[in-house]
């Protein structure tokens, strides 16, 4: 005897809800940070948001305002997207922060200065500069997770600091050019401060010289 039609509908609805819950739990939220008018918004998004669409981000994501002075060094194991209009807050957000998968989107036509960001553990970088150049999004694979797994465990720079054996220096002036994204890496660097004395922020973030670093320049 076939089950009543109402019972079939209830069973289908229950299965649909179960499948939706499983799909939602399987999704990982990504972090979106954007700076606008001297404010920093930190958002958790369950779906991709069109670059530089601030209204949509505030509507679709769970966002909170962060005071610039309250921004501290942290780590991002998942995907991090940052929308920015200038470099004023980027150093505070990214210097010596552990970020594996990073996307930077320039949301203005401003000319950026030649400043370097020092990012730890960067595996993939994507950039979008459509607000300045009609250029498609670019992607650069710096190293894979397997590369870092094969090395010894990273050391801690200082109490409360994140491990940093792979360091990427990102030239922000690349957003002024409509050329392809490029990089080169130097392995077995034992003393970053001595090998790269022009980077003054090593006085603020001292780096031990008894370890072997992999240094990547992105330009």
CB 154 within 8 A of CB 143: no
Please report which confidence band the pLDDT of residue 15 belongs to, taking 50, 70 and 90 as the band edges: very low
Identify the residue with better confidence: 91 or 57: 57
pLDDT of residue 136: 87
Residue 96 has pLDDT above 50, yes or no: yes
pLDDT for the residue numbered 159: 44
- Residue 196 confidence class, pLDDT cut points 50, 70, 90: confident
3 state SS of 55: helix
**What is the pLDDT at residue 191?**
83
* Residue 11, SS3 per DSSP: helix
Neighbours of 167 (CB within 10 A): 20
**Segment 159-171, tens digit of pLDDT:** 444 458 899 999 9
Buried b (16+ CB within 10 A) or exposed e, 15-34: eeeeeeeeeeeeeeebbbbb
pLDDT score for 201: 66
Do residues 93 and 33 lie in contact, with contact meaning Cβ atoms separated by under 8 Å? yes
Mean pLDDT of 42-61: 96
Report phi then psi at 8, rounded to 5.
-65, -40
Residue 157 pLDDT: 44
Confidence (pLDDT) at 135: 80
Residue 11 pLDDT exceeds 60: no
Task: Give dist(CA 42, CA 35) in Å, integer.
Answer: 9
Distance CA 97, CA 121 (A): 8
The whole-model pTM stands at 0.78
CB 165 within 8 A of CB 151: yes
Contact residues for 147 (Cβ-Cβ < 8 A; gap 6+): none
């Amino acid at each position: 005897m076939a089950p009543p039609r109402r019972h079939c509908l209830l069973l289908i609805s229950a299965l649909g809800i179960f499948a939706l819950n499983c799909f939602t739990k399987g999704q990982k939220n990504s972090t979106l940070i954007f700076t606008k008018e001297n404010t920093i918004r930190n958002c958790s998004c369950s779906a991709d948001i069109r670059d530089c669409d601030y209204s949509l981000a505030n509507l679709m994501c769970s966002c909170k305002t962060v005071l610039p002075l309250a921004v501290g060094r942290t780590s991002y194991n998942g995907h991090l997207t940052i929308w920015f209009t200038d470099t004023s807050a980027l150093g505070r957000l990214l210097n010596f922060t552990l970020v594996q998968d990073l996307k930077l989107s320039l949301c203005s036509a401003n000319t950026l200065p030649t400043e370097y960001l020092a990012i730890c553990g960067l595996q993939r970088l994507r950039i979008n500069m459509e607000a300045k150049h009609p250029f498609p999004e670019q992607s650069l694979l710096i190293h894979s997770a397997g590369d870092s797994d094969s090395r010894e465990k990273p050391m801690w720079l200082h109490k409360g600091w994140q491990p940093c054996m792979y360091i990427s220096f990102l030239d922000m002036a690349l957003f002024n050019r409509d050329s392809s994204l490029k990089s080169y890496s130097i392995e077995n660097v034992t003393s970053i401060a001595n090998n790269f004395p022009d980077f003054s922020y090593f006085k603020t973030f001292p780096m031990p010289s008894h370890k072997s670093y992999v240094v990547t320049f992105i330009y």
